Each structure stands twice: as structure tokens, then as C-alpha cells.
């Protein structure tokens, strides 16, 4: 039993060290290498931005829209008892901007784009395409990981902002149709209590979540072994680990923002 637990701890520590090493390599190719040589083509970055960002717009929009609808209905059920139905507007907006929109958007992108990154790089690994790149003196981190990292880092916050607007729209639909709140009054209440710190708190989380999704997807893909079965395992591991780390990071960041009174 002790041996089993020790093996798990050692394996976890080794993977954490390898992921940190991957992060340092990516940051090197982003910030240091451009002063020495050409790092990666802009076309590859734009291609990843389209895949990760534009092709995730509809699913993020509808997930956030229905989240806003459900949140408005659930909170209205309690607020009606206190005669404070009007405050559904501010509660929905603050909850979405600070917490729900960044987390749900990150989970959606991790399930869609993160798994695709792991599967794509894993397929290249088991088919020896990555070894072929190394044979041609092309660094796999520069060629494969950096464009995906940059694309995720910039597109996930944009999707989070979209999620904020669509979630508020969902609450607006419920508030004006079912709760019979005046539309102008609803919007005034929404932005009266929504502060700038609520917005940048959620955006800060989205940047951290983007780093997590990119690193885990690239790491699992670049370390895939075992043919087609190994690709499946790497894809599953990337989604599961990303989900766990997103929730863990959200908990830590929420505590930091809460205790620092930000």
C-alpha cells in the first residue's frame, strides 16, 4: 500500500515538473526566441484562433444563454419570497461575470479544443510525425505548442466576454417575460451593481484557465504512447485533468480575490 501511494506521488510530481518544463519552453519561444530567429508563422496562430475561438462561439453562446436563464429562474424563486425580484438582474450579472461564465466557458473549450489538441498531437506522436520534425531540425514546441498556446491565451477571454453578454441576455429574457420587470429598469439594475472588479476578476481567471488547457492538451499529446489506444487515453486524460485543474484554480483564485478584497 505504501509502495502504491509512493508510486502515485512520485509520478504526479514528475508530471508536474514536466508540465512546468513545457511552460518554460513555450515562454522561451514566445518571449526570447523571437529576438534570435523566426519562431512560428502567423498563419498557424490565426488558424488555431479560428478553430479554438470562432468555431466555439455558438456552443459558448448557447451554454451561457441557458445558464443565465436557469440562474434567473432559480434566484427569482427565492427573491420573490422577500419581495426583491428586481435584484435578479444584478445577481445574474455578477454571478456570471465573476464565476459562472469563466468556468463554464473554460470547461466547454477544454472539452472541445483541449481534447482536439491532445488528439491531434497524439496522432502525430504515434505516427512519428513529431520525430520527423525533429529530424528536420524543427522544434516541436515552437512548431506545434506555441501557436496553440497563443491562440488559447487570447481567444478564451474573448469567449468569456461573449459568455457574459449571452448570460445576461438569458437573464434579461426571463426577467422581462416571466418576471414582468421593465426592460429599462432591468438593465439599469444590472449595471448599477456590476462593478469593474467583477469583470476583470472573471477575465483574470480566463487567462489562467487558458494556460491550463493549452499546457495539458499539448503535454498529453506530445507524450502519447501506444498507438490508437494511447491517443484515446491521452485525449481522455487531457479533458479530465483540465477539468480538475480548472476547478482547483478557480477555487484558489476566488479565495485570493476574496481575501484580498479585490
- pLDDT tens digits for 50-89? 999 999 999 999 999 999 999 999 988 888 878 788 889 8
Predicted confidence at residue 35, as pLDDT, reads 53
- pLDDT tens digits for 100-121? 999 999 999 999 999 999 999 9
Predicted confidence at residue 108, as pLDDT, reads 95
pTM over 0.85, yes/no: yes
The mean pLDDT of the chain is: 88
What is the CA angle 174-180-183, rounded to 5? 75
In which band, very low, low, confident or very high, does the pLDDT at 190 lie, cut at 50, 70 and 90? confident
Q: Give the span between the Cα atoms of 31 and 102, in whole angstroms.
A: 26
Place of cell 477555487: 251
The three three-digit cell numbers of residue 161, written as one number: 466576454
DSSP strands (E only) in 108-194: none
Is the model's pLDDT at 4 over the cut of 80? no
HSE toward the beta carbon, residue 127, CA cutoff 13 A? 9
* Angle, in degrees to the nearest 10, between helices 101-109 and 227-259: 170
When pLDDT is averaged across residues 215-237 and rounded to a whole number, the result is: 90
Q: Give the span between the Cα atoms of 252 and 49, in whole angstroms.
A: 28
Predicted confidence at residue 150, as pLDDT, reads 93
Is the model's pLDDT at 15 over the cut of 90? no
Domain ranges of the chain: 45-259
Predicted confidence at residue 208, as pLDDT, reads 96
Percentage of residues of the chain with pLDDT beyond 90: 51
In which band, very low, low, confident or very high, does the pLDDT at 122 lie, cut at 50, 70 and 90? very high
Is the model's pLDDT at 37 over the cut of 70? no
Q: Which of 1-5, 51-55, 136-140, 149-153 has the lowest mean pLDDT?
A: 1-5
Amino acid at each position: 500500500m505504501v509502495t502504491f501511494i509512493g508510486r502515485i506521488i512520485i509520478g504526479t510530481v514528475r508530471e508536474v515538473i514536466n508540465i512546468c518544463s513545457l511552460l518554460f519552453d513555450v515562454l522561451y519561444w514566445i518571449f526570447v526566441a523571437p529576438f534570435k530567429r523566426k519562431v512560428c508563422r502567423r498563419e498557424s496562430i490565426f488558424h488555431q484562433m479560428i478553430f479554438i475561438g470562432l468555431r466555439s462561439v455558438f456552443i459558448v453562446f448557447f451554454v451561457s444563454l441557458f445558464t443565465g436563464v436557469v440562474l434567473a429562474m432559480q434566484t427569482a424563486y427565492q427573491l420573490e419570497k422577500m419581495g426583491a425580484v428586481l435584484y435578479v438582474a444584478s445577481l445574474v450579472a455578477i454571478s456570471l461575470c465573476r464565476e459562472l461564465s469563466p468556468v463554464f466557458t473554460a470547461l466547454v473549450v477544454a472539452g472541445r479544443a483541449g481534447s482536439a489538441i491532445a488528439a491531434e498531437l497524439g496522432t502525430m506522436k504515434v505516427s512519428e510525425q513529431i520525430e520527423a520534425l525533429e529530424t528536420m531540425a524543427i522544434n516541436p514546441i515552437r512548431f506545434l505548442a506555441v501557436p496553440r498556446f497563443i491562440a488559447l491565451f487570447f481567444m478564451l477571454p474573448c469567449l468569456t466576454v461573449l459568455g457574459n453578454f449571452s448570460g445576461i441576455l438569458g437573464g434579461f429574457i426571463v426577467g422581462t417575460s416571466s418576471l414582468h420587470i421593465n426592460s429599462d429598469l432591468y438593465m439599469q439594475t444590472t449595471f448599477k451593481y456590476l462593478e469593474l472588479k467583477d469583470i476583470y476578476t472573471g477575465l483574470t481567471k480566463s487567462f489562467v484557465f487558458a494556460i491550463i488547457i493549452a499546457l495539458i492538451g499539448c503535454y498529453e499529446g506530445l507524450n502519447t504512447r501506444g498507438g490508437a489506444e494511447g491517443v484515446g487515453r491521452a485525449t481522455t486524460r487531457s479533458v479530465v485533468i483540465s477539468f480538475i485543474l480548472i476547478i482547483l484554480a478557480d477555487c484558489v483564485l476566488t479565495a485570493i480575490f476574496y481575501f484580498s478584497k479585490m
